[in-house]
Each structure stands twice: as structure tokens, then as C-alpha cells.
């Protein structure tokens, strides 16, 4: 019989607090999976008729999933506070946190522009230690580099619902058993091969890229008679969770570079809710993750909603991008 998530956490001696945090995340993702699957039946597709802190249109399911996660962590003493891509500022716990409590950050429904067209979406999460003991939480408590993460992961709502997790010692994947409702270990020791022939980037932005990124992609596109000496395949799901999952399963490189569309935005993706948690998974699986200057895990955040460029995946390709720039 395959291990359940509960078995796995016990076997790997996860502390009581970390077990509480990860279990609540997994249980909530199972609920989110049902909300996403119900789609139009539950009358939950489409816009919520408002914008989030990033001036992006919120989908009804962005709001619903954010509320589910807020509820999940509202009353546990193991979580001192949460921050979400969908909320301007953090929410401190309503109960007195235990010593050794955590901060939980999440993107409740990443790729939500895909949900109305029935393409995979996901939930991304990051767990940090809470530095606040005996005082009120402040935003600066959250601004820890990705290397401080105790755990990170995502749930992918695709043909199968999966939870991919790192506790900082490798990466494992669980599949939600629709019959029993249990998360069962199906992907042990997920690793990203050093070499790949597959890249993921939104090519429609090519004219806005800086020369090193353009040069890197042109070399891939040149195929076996070009400088890379091999033919590349391309995938772009526009759901980071689904694109990163493919890379964790069969390798590849994902790029969302900074571009010249809006100079005030150094990239589209958010460091705290997307870049850092995915970078921990990728490094733990043997890959690399950079903003083309610094390893993403070493970036010291300056704000909860900071945006960065993201290049991650098979080490050989990430190093090639770094060498180009
Ligand atoms: P979101 O958090 O608002 O859903 O945006 C993040 C998503 C990522 O999942 C995905 O990689 C990217 O946006 C796709 O962007 P684009 O539509 O520009 O290709
Ligand atoms: Mg997102």
C-alpha cells in the first residue's frame, strides 16, 4: 500500500507544528480541487468583478480559494500569520502563536486565467519560520530569503490532483485518491535531469526581451544545425504549476524573464508566492532557479508583492541562460 501524506510526515519526523501546517494545506487543497472541478455547475467561473492588489482581475475562484486558505489557518497556534498573492497585506493569527510557529504564504489559485477554459491550475505555498515571539507580527517578518523556507510545494488541479512537497530534503509527490480522499505517495525522489530538449516561455513577448534571453531562445530554435546541436520542443501552459510540474517529472527549462513592456515591473511572477517556493522545489530536485543575476533562494525580499524574473529547471539550460547574460 502506498504511504499516505500522514505516514510520510511521521516517517520523516516532521514536527507537530509543521505536520499541522502541511496537513491543513493538503486538506484545503483537496477542498479547492472539488471547487475547481465543479466549475460551471457551482456557478463559480468568471470574474469576481474586482481587482486584486496587483491590479489584476480577480476570478471568483481566486476569492473563494483565498478564503478557504484563510479559514484553514485562522485558528491554529502553529501559524503566526499568513500572506497571499490576493491580499494587500498579511493577516496575523487570531490566537496566540506557539513558540516555533510558522508563517504561511500562498498563491491560492495560480494560473487562474486558465480556469474558465478548463486548463490546469494550482495552489503554491511557502512555509517560513515566524521570527516574532511575544510581539505583534510586522510585514518585515515575512521578508526572509527563500533559503529560510522550512517547506514549500504546490497542489496541481489537473487530470490528477497532486500535491508536490519539499521539507528541504528532496521532493515528493502525492496523488489525491478520489475513492478514499487520501493523499498517497506516488512520486518518490522527484529529480530534474541536468540536460533537456524542452523549453517553456511565452514567445509572444519575444520582441520585448533583453538580448541575452532572445539569443538563448534563438539558439534553441536553431535546432540541431545551430549552436546547441539538438532540436528543442516547446511547451507553455500559462499555469506555472503545470509547467513546473512537467519539469519536475521529465525535465525542461521555464523562463518568465523581465521584459520591456512595463519598466516598473521586473518580471511578472512574484518572489514570495511563486519564485521562492518553486525555486526550493527545483533546487531540492537537483535543478537551478535564478532571476538571471542571483539564485532566487538568495534574494532578500523588499516587499510582499515583489516581482522578479524567473528562469528555472534543468541545470544545463539555466547555466546557459546565465552565461548568455
Ligand atoms: P497569476 O498568479 O495571476 O495566475 O499569474 C501567474 C501565471 C503563471 O501561472 C504563468 O506562468 C503566467 O502567469 C503566465 O503568464 P502569461 O499569460 O503572460 O503567459
Ligand atoms: Mg500566481
| Residues 137-154 pLDDT 10s | 999 999 999 999 999 999
| Domains identified in the chain and CATH numbers | 5-187 (3.30.540.10), 198-324 (3.40.190.80)
Question: Mean pLDDT across the stretch 171-189?
Answer: 97
Which of residues 92 and 325 earns the better pLDDT score?
A: 92
> Is the CB of 111 within 6 Å of ligand 1?
yes
**Structural contact between residues 198 and 235, judged by C-beta atoms closer than 8 angstroms:** yes
Q: Is the CB of 262 under 6 A from ligand 1?
A: no
Given a cut of 90, is residue 257 above it in pLDDT?
yes
pLDDT at position 1, please? 83
pLDDT at residue number 65:
95
pLDDT of residue 262: 87
Residue 60 has pLDDT above 90, yes or no: no
Minimum CA distance residue for ligand 1 atom 12: 238
Cβ contact 279:289 at 8 Å: yes
Phi/psi at 56 (5° precision) = -110, 145
Which position has the grid cell 544545425?
225
Q: Which protein residue's CA is at the shortest distance from atom 16 of ligand 1? A: 238
Strand order in the sheet with 288-290: 233-234, 198-200, 253-256, 310-313, 288-290
Q: What is the pTM of this model?
A: 0.96
Confidence of residue 204 (pLDDT cuts 50, 70, 90): very high
52, 269, 310, 312, best to mutate for ligand 1 pocket (most atoms within 8 Å of CB): 269
Confidence of residue 58 (pLDDT cuts 50, 70, 90): confident
Tell me the C-alpha distance between 318 and 325, whole Å: 11
User: Average pLDDT, stretch 200-211?
Assistant: 97
Residue 71: per-residue pLDDT: 97
Amino acid at each position: 500500500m502506498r504511504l499516505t501524506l500522514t505516514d510520510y510526515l511521521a516517517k520523516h519526523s516532521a514536527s507537530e507544528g509543521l505536520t499541522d501546517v502541511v496537513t491543513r494545506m493538503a486538506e484545503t487543497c483537496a477542498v479547492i480541487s472539488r471547487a475547481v472541478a465543479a466549475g460551471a455547475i457551482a456557478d463559480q467561473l468568471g470574474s469576481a468583478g474586482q481587482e486584486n492588489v496587483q491590479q489584476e482581475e480577480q476570478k471568483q475562484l481566486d476569492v473563494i480559494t483565498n478564503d478557504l486558505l484563510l479559514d484553514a489557518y485562522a485558528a491554529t497556534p502553529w501559524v503566526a500569520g499568513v500572506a497571499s498573492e490576493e491580499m494587500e497585506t498579511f493577516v496575523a493569527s487570531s490566537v496566540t502563536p506557539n513558540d516555533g510557529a510558522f508563517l504561511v504564504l500562498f498563491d491560492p489559485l495560480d494560473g487562474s486565467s486558465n480556469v474558465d477554459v478548463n486548463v490546469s491550475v494550482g495552489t503554491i505555498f511557502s512555509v517560513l519560520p515566524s521570527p516574532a515571539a511575544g510581539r505583534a507580527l510586522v510585514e518585515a517578518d515575512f521578508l526572509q530569503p527563500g533559503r529560510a523556507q522550512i517547506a514549500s510545494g504546490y497542489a496541481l488541479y489537473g487530470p490528477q490532483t497532486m500535491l508536490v512537497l519539499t521539507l528541504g530534503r528532496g521532493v515528493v509527490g502525492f496523488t489525491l485518491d478520489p475513492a478514499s480522499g487520501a493523499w498517497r505517495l506516488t512520486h518518490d525522489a522527484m529529480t530534474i535531469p541536468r540536460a533537456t530538449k524542452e523549453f517553456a516561455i511565452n514567445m509572444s513577448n519575444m520582441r520585448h526581451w533583453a538580448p541575452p534571453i532572445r539569443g538563448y531562445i534563438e539558439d534553441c530554435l536553431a535546432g540541431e544545425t545551430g549552436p546547441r546541436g539538438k532540436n528543442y520542443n516547446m511547451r507553455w501552459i500559462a499555469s506555472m504549476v503545470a509547467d513546473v510540474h512537467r519539469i519536475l517529472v521529465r525535465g525542461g527549462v521555464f523562463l518568465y524573464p523581465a521584459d520591456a513592456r512595463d519598466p516598473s515591473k521586473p518580471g511578472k511572477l512574484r518572489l514570495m508566492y511563486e519564485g521562492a517556493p518553486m525555486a526550493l522545489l527545483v533546487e531540492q530536485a537537483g535543478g537551478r532557479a535564478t532571476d538571471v543575476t542571483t539564485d532566487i533562494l538568495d534574494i532578500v525580499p523588499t516587499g510582499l508583492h515583489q516581482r522578479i524574473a524567473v528562469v528555472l529547471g534543468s541545470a544545463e539550460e539555466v547555466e546557459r541562460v546565465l552565461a548568455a547574460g
